[in-house]
């Protein structure tokens, strides 16, 4: 079985500041990792994914994430956030067809 922990339920940050959203996972098998974003009153949109290869993955909207196998982490980063990045961010693992999601992190970007 696999599980995902998002360590921060809310992250407030000022516009143009950098941000890191933390994600740790546990699994007894190889996993594939995803970050999804949910804007208010919308569905989930894929930000980026790690399947294999380079541990630094670049996604849409200037986001990137780094896979760290030894620390079982997949933290999401952006060097400079915008007001429009205000949303809920979900880390997920796929180890057998279904996605297992973390509890989500609400990113609140303040002007």
Partner 1 sequence: DSGVTQTPKHLITATGQRVTLRCSPRSGDLSVYWYQQSLDQGLQFLIQYYNGEERAKGNILERFSAQQFPDLHSELNLSSLELGDSALYFCASSVKGFGIQETQYFGPGTRLLVL
- Of 45, 68, 71, 84, which one interacts with partner 1 (CB under 8 A)? 45
Distance CA(27)–CA(101), nearest Å, equals: 13
Are 99 and 92 in contact by the 8 Å Cβ rule? The answer is yes
Binding mask 79-108 for partner 1 (x = CB under 8 A): -----------x---xxxxxxxxxxx----
- Of 3, 10, 26, 42, which one interacts with partner 1 (CB under 8 A)? 42
Q: Any contact of residue 32 with partner 1 (CB under 8 A)? A: yes
- Site size toward partner 1, by CB under 8 A: 23
- Please provide the distance, in angstroms rounded to a whole number, between the alpha carbons at the two ends of the chain: 41
Return the number of other C-beta atoms located less than 10 Å from residue 39's C-beta: 13
């Amino acid at each position: 079985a696999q599980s995902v922990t998002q360590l921060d339920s809310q992250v407030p940050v000022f516009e143009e500041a950098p941000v890191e959203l933390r994600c740790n996972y546990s699994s007894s098998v190889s996993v594939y990792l995803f970050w999804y974003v949910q804007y208010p009153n919308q569905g989930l949109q894929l930000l980026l994914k790690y399947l294999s290869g380079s541990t630094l993955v670049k996604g849409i909207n200037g986001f990137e994430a780094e896979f760290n196998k030894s620390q079982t982490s997949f933290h999401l980063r952006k060097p400079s956030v915008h007001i429009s990045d205000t949303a809920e961010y979900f880390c997920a693992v796929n180890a057998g067809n279904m996605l297992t999601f973390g509890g989500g992190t609400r990113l609140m970007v303040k002007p």
